[in-house]
Structure 1
Amino acid sequence: MTMQRRSFLTPSAAGAAGAGMSKDVSEVITRTPALNTAGGQRTGHQAVGVGVSGRSVGGMTTHGLLNAWPDARITPAVPMSCVDMGNPSPAVRAKVPFAHGDRDGTCSISSARQAYRELPAAKAFLTFRGAGHSNYFGDSRTVNTFVDWMRWILYGDAAARDRPGADATSRTTTWESALS
């Protein structure tokens, strides 16, 4: 199974998968407001913005929404354990923190770092030293960091803007950011 997964996540295969999934996510974003109309399942709820996140192929789907298949409605995007899906689209102004293990044998951290370098601020990169492809996913540093990031971008929570650096800091992580 590991060999199949590694061969699947080549940049060209990831691009093919990401195209369909990124377009699917955009379609969901398009159709969701209809649920808020009179009689809809979410009547009376108002969205504050659109944020996306994913890990592995989901991370590539998330990153694909910022470049190859851009969706300008996305304001925060959190790709985790992904590869670079291309140059950022000028139409997208999402604020993007990445997360990646530096020992990921499935998705190269160097490819994710390239994606990070290509994006304008606000952006961040959380590296889990000694971590592989997915063993940091449920880690409280991951959860707290990205919940705060989403709160900052979606709700304008100034205190949340300042917390990710502290949330992510430990002896086994490296946090870097360019917030402006």
Structure 2
Amino acid sequence: MSKWFLISILILSLGFVVGHAQSLADLAKAERERQKKLKSNPVTRTKVITERDLRKTNSAAQRNGMSADPKESSDDRNRSDLLSKPSLSTGLTDHNGRNESYWRQRKATLQKELDQVEQGIKEIDDFLGRHHATYTLQSLAPMKNKREEKAKQAEAIRQKMKELEDEARRAGAPPAWLR
């Protein structure tokens, strides 16, 4: 009995599905209607933005609505970092109009200072390593103090580098400019 019941349910459900299915002609007609509606209504059309479109609007004034000239911006007149105005090129710039070379130069300056300080630390460590047995602790104390001062300088420069990264991030410069 249950076998016949299941077969009858299966046949009824199959008939229901076939009876209510759309034909291919109905689907084609509905698609043509949809295409006509899309062509007649231009508001629903979307534009794909390409690299060419982005290059056309590459200047800072068009990107964020702010002027790249410090004379035009009353809020930025008193900022000391705008005294050394970067060159306004057609390449990518941050929100303040500074380009990649500006940020790379600032990073390179700090990196050069850090390298010099770390070289000084290395020289002091070499001296202390070679002469720790021949000198007394009192005679090595000034060198250890110099090393501590250099270590503090190195830490201060590292902090400046972190601040530079934060400043660049706030200005809208891509992170790759400081690598």
Pick the structure with greater CA Rg.
2
Question: How would you bin the TM-score normalised by the shorter chain?
Answer: under 0.3
Q: TM-score of the superposition, structure 2-length normalised?
A: 0.26
Q: TM-score of the superposition, structure 1-length normalised?
A: 0.26
> 1 or 2, which has the higher helix percentage?
2
> 1 or 2, which has the higher strand percentage?
1
